[in-house]
Structure 1
Amino acid sequence: MDTSATDFGILIVRVTLGGMLVIHALNKILGPGGLTGTANWFASIGLHPGRLHAYLATTTELGAGLLMCAGLLQPLTSAGFVGLMAVAAFTDHRGKGFFVFKGGWEYVAVVGLTATAVASTGPGRWSLDHVLGVAFHGIPWAIGSAVVGLTGACVVIVAARRPDRPAAEQPVT
C-alpha cells in the first residue's frame, strides 16, 4: 500500500470537511443577517435561546473545522462534527426524507460519517497529531467519537429544544 497516497487522500478529506465547516461558521457571522439572523433562525427551529445556540454552533463549527484541517485531536474533532450534524438532522432535516435537495438528512449523515471515518483512519502523516506523536485513532476511537458526538447532541436537544407550539385557540365571543 502506498502510504503517501493514503495520507494525501486523508489530507484532502480533512481539508474538505474542515474548510466546509469553517466557511459554514463564517456564514453564520458574516452572512445576511449576521449572528442575529442566525440566532433568529435557531429560535425558529425550536432551539432556545437562539442567541446562545448561534454562539455555540458557530464556535463549535470554527473549532472543529480548524482542528480537522490541521489534523489535531482527531477523535474530539470528529465528535464535534458528529454532534453538529446530529443536531442539524434532528432539528432542521427531520421528517423531510433522505435527499438534501428536499431538505433531507443525506448531507448531514455523509458529513458526520466521514468525520467518524477519519477518527478511525487517523488524520495521516500530514497532520499535527502525527507531528506531536498523538496516535488516537482506530475503530474504538471512531466509535467513541460517534458516541461522544451523539451524546452531546442529545444533551443539546433535551436541554434546549423548545418547539414552537401553536397558540391556544381563542373562544369565539
Structure 2
Amino acid sequence: MPFVPREAVETARPHVLGLFRIVVGLLFVCHGAAKLFGVLGGVGGGATVGTWAWPGFYAGLIELGAGSLVLVGLRTRTAALLCSGSMAFAYFDVHQERALWPIENGGETAALYSWVFLLIAFAGPGSFALGSVLGPVLKRRGAPATAAEEPAPAAV
C-alpha cells in the first residue's frame, strides 16, 4: 500500500467530510420522502400524512426537513444533532423492545444514522456547504452567521 502524505490527507479532509455529509443527507431525505409520500419504494404515503401519526409522521418530517439542511450544509450542526436524536429515539422506542442487539431487533440503520449524525454535528459540514457561502453574506449585512456569534442579551 503506497504511503499517503499527511498533508494530502489534511488537504482532502474537508472535501471528504463534505461529500460524506451530502451522501448521508441525501439518503436521509430519501428515507423521509419514502416514509411520508410512499415514493422510492417506501410504504408510507397518504395515511401517514393525513393522520399525523406519532411518531412516524414527525420522524418523516425530521428526516425530510433536517436531512435537507444537512444535505445542503445549512445550519448543519443543529440539524445533524436533531437527526441524531430522532434516530436514537427511534432505536430505543421502536427497536430496543424487540431484542437487545441491533442485528436482532432491526435497528442497525437507526443506530448507524444516530452515530453518523452525531459525528457530523461535532465535525461540522466540511466543504461544499451552503452555510459557508451564506455566512459571509450574512456577516456583511450585519446579521449573525451562526448561533455562536449572536450577541449576548443586554443585562437588565
1:126 counterpart SS class = coil
TM-score by length of 1: 0.61
Is 1:16 aligned with 2:16?
A: no
Query: Is 104-113 or 121-130 further displaced after alignment?
Result: 104-113
Deviation at 1:50, TM superposition (A): 6.0
Write the distance in 1 (CA, Å) between the matches of 2:91 and 2:106: 8
Write the distance in 2 (CA, Å) between the matches of 1:122 and 1:25: 22
Asked whether the equivalents of residues 122 and 136 of structure 1 are also in contact (C-alpha less than 8 Å), the reply is: no
Asked whether the equivalents of residues 29 and 67 of structure 2 are also in contact (C-alpha less than 8 Å), the reply is: yes
CA 1:9 to 1:83, structure 2 compared with 1: closer, same or farther past 3 Å? Answer: same
Write the distance in 2 (CA, Å) between the matches of 1:90 and 1:124: 30
Deviation at 1:135, TM superposition (A): 6.3
Is 1:34 aligned with 2:45?
A: yes
Deviation at 1:117, TM superposition (A): 1.3
Cα RMSD over matched residues? 2.6
**Per-residue Cα deviation, 1:81-127 (whole angstroms, up to 9, x for no partner):** 12211221122210423233x22444322211221111222101310
How many residue pairs match? The answer is 126
Partner of 1:120: 122
Is 1:98 aligned with 2:101?
A: yes
Kindly, what percent of the aligned residue pairs are identical? 29
Deviation at 1:18, TM superposition (A): 0.8
Write the distance in 2 (CA, Å) between the matches of 1:91 and 1:123: 29
Asked whether the equivalents of residues 18 and 69 of structure 1 are also in contact (C-alpha less than 8 Å), the reply is: yes
Partner of 1:83: 85
List gaps (5 residues or longer) in structure 2. Answer: 1-6, 136-144, 149-156
CA 1:106 to 1:129, structure 2 compared with 1: closer, same or farther past 3 Å? Answer: same
TM-score by length of 2: 0.67
Asked whether the equivalents of residues 97 and 104 of structure 1 are also in contact (C-alpha less than 8 Å), the reply is: no
List gaps (5 residues or longer) in structure 1. Answer: 40-48, 138-173
